[in-house]
């Protein structure tokens, strides 16, 4: 071997990569779990692309999931973040395009395809690998997993890309709807988020003061919010509002929900009787530990012409 007295010192070993997020599939390929190096995690059921778990670094669950939730694809998941598309609520009799659809549409009852993951630096902390991880899911009119009831009732060519991004202190879900049809179609979008609280009677919701809302427990009458909201009975309100929605409990901010291009937010708690009436809502007093804050575009219709796209997103931050 030729001696080279002046050979360069060995290159400094490339510093090791910081710890990376992990992404794992369940054995039956029905679930995908992403975990940050610092312990935060999300679990997504491919059925409905339903986020069924979001845990912080101490493994504290942030989403409410009924203990009777069906996770086998036989019915929409009761809890987590079910996706509502192309219609919100019961199919409106007067809207021909959606009048035959099941309540809340077919996104939450279709099997989505996992499209992949990506990670990025969410901050400069190289040691803890303070990264974020994004999971992408897809559903199209041509997909095998599309709910046949939806395909039959809503025969438009469309494509959906749903992205779920986990950072250390927040979770973002974003939906892009594309019209691949020759015809225009109307749609509504909503992220039906079940937030976990300790005791609903100690919860206040702020940020909606002076916003108008439709009160679905009072003959769908239109009202104006005065001050913060407390949940003292069945509550089912569709607000039109900008700005963050803040969920506090015992004076401490639990969640701050911000929206991008979603002008409505539904506040829902079934309370005693409605909880009793839902077979998959368990435990029956579980209404005390959940609050739905549901960003959406549901006040009217998004009309997409051929080639048009609509994108809406929510970010749920832990704390203020």
78 is in an annotated binding site: yes
Q: Is 249 a catalytic site residue?
A: no
Q: Is 61 a catalytic site residue?
A: no
What are the percentages of helix, strand and coil residues in the chain, rounded to 5? 10, 45, 45
* CB-nearer residue toward ligand TA6: 116 or 300: 300
* CB-nearer residue toward ligand TA6: 21 or 105: 105
Residue 29 Cα to chain centre, angstroms: 20
**Nearest in space to 214 (alpha carbons), one of 81, 88, 79, 64:** 88
Which residue in the list 40, 121, 192, 232 is annotated as catalytic? 192
Cis bond upstream, residue 132 (ω within 30): no
* CB-nearer residue toward ligand TA6: 149 or 216: 216
* CB-nearer residue toward ligand TA6: 184 or 220: 220
Report in angstroms how near the CB of residue 107 gets to ligand TA6 at its nearest. Answer: 12
**Nearest in space to 298 (alpha carbons), one of 160, 154, 187, 210:** 187
- Residue positions counted in the chain: 320
- 79 with 69: CB under 8 angstroms? yes
4 is in an annotated binding site: no
Which residues of the shown chain bind ligand TA6 in the complex (CB under 6 A)?
76, 89, 103-104, 192, 216, 236, 266, 268, 292, 294
108 is in an annotated binding site: yes
Report in angstroms how near the CB of residue 90 gets to ligand TA6 at its nearest. Answer: 8
* CB-nearer residue toward ligand TA6: 139 or 266: 266
Which residue in the list 182, 289, 294, 311 is annotated as catalytic? 294
- Closest residue to ligand TA6, based on beta-carbon distance: 268
Angle subtended at Cα 182 by Cα 181 and Cα 188, rounded to the nearest 5 degrees: 45
According to the 3-state scheme, what is the secondary structure of 194-245?
EEECCCHHHEEEECCCCCEEEECCCCCEEEECCCCEECCCCEEEEEECCCCE
Question: Is residue 185 packed enough to be buried (19+ CB in 10 Å), middle (13-18) or exposed (0-12)?
Answer: buried
Report in angstroms how near the CB of residue 209 gets to ligand TA6 at its nearest. Answer: 21
Report in angstroms how near the CB of residue 183 gets to ligand TA6 at its nearest. Answer: 27
- 49 with 112: CB under 8 angstroms? yes
Report in angstroms how near the CB of residue 306 gets to ligand TA6 at its nearest. Answer: 30
Q: Which residues are part of a known binding site? A: 78, 103, 108
* Positions marked active-site: 192, 294
Q: Which residues are part of a known binding site for substrate? A: 78, 103, 108
């Amino acid at each position: 071997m030729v001696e080279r007295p002046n050979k360069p010192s060995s290159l400094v070993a490339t510093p090791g990569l910081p710890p990376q997020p992990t992404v794992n599939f369940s054995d039956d390929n029905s679930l995908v779990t992403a975990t940050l190096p610092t312990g935060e995690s999300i679990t997504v059921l491919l059925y409905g692309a339903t986020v069924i778990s979001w845990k912080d670094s101490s493994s504290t669950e942030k989403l409410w999931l009924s203990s009777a939730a069906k996770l086998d694809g036989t019915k929409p998941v009761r809890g987590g973040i079910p996706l509502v598309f192309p219609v919100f609520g019961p199919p409106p009799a007067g809207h021909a395009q959606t009048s035959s659809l099941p309540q809340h549409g077919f996104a939450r009852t279709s099997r989505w395809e996992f499209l992949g993951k990506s990670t990025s630096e969410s901050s400069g902390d190289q040691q803890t690998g303070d990264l974020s991880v994004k999971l992408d899911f897809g559903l199209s009119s041509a997909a095998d997993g599309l709910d046949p009831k939806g395909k039959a009732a809503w025969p438009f060519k469309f494509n959906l890309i749903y992205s779920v991004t986990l950072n250390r202190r927040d979770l973002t879900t974003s939906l892009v709807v594309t019209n691949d049809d020759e015809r225009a179609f109307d749609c509504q979008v909503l992220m039906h988020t079940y937030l976990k609280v300790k005791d609903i009677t100690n919860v206040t919701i702020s940020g909606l003061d002076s916003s108008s809302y439709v009160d679905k427990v009072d003959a769908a009458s239109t009202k104006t919010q005065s001050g913060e909201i407390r949940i003292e009975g069945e509550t089912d309100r569709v607000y039109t509002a900008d700005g963050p929605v803040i969920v506090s409990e015992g004076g401490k901010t639990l969640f701050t929900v911000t929206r991008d291009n979603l002008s409505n937010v539904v506040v829902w708690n079934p309370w005693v009787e409605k909880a009793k009436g839902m077979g998959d809502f368990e435990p029956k007093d579980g209404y005390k530990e959940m609050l739905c804050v549901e960003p959406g575009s549901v006040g009217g219709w998004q009309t997409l012409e051929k080639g048009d796209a609509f994108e809406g997103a929510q970010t749920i931050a832990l704390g203020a």
